[in-house]
Amino acid sequence: MKNNKKGFTLIELLVVIAIIGLLSTLSILALNTARARARDAKRVSDVKQIQTALEMYYNDAGAYPTTAATGTPISYGTAVYLQSIPTPPTPFDFTTGICSGQPAYTYSTTGTPISSYNIQYCLGAQTGGVSAGLHTATPAGIQ
């Protein structure tokens, strides 16, 4: 009597399903990490853009602007250096800890006339040599 088995056993099917499940879980975790790093890279890029606009403003006006808020332009006279200060990407990645309550870029100035500024921003993870946490950008650079 010849016994021809065609198909897969239940154990073989369960092993394949488990492997597929494991691979999909790992790929989703990697994708979420990549998205978080992309948001942090966007935050650093936004701050550098704001700094460039502030330096062009300073060249024309001789001082930094008194205020700068998310959604407002950086302009002097008829020159527009930044159409709109960007909003940080969401989700914020940092709902607790040192960055709690710091979702936006915060601008403050020092001196009379205004000779310096601070932009506070927060990163969820290390990005481009900048560690995770609350940071301050000044005319001297990103810290």
Q: Are 56 and 81 in contact (CB under 8 A)?
A: yes
Q: How far apart are CA 101 and CA 91, in angstroms?
A: 13
pLDDT at 39: 87
Look-up: residue for tokens 């927060």? Answer: 122
The string over 35-48, giving b where at least 16 C-beta atoms fall within 10 Å of a residue's C-beta and e elsewhere, is: ebbebbeebbebbe
pLDDT at 135: 87
How high is the mean pLDDT in each 10-residue block of the chain (143 residues)? 75 94 91 85 92 95 91 94 90 66 82 89 82 88 81
Of 107, 26, 103, whose CA–CA distance to 64 is shortest? 107
pTM score, whole prediction: 0.78
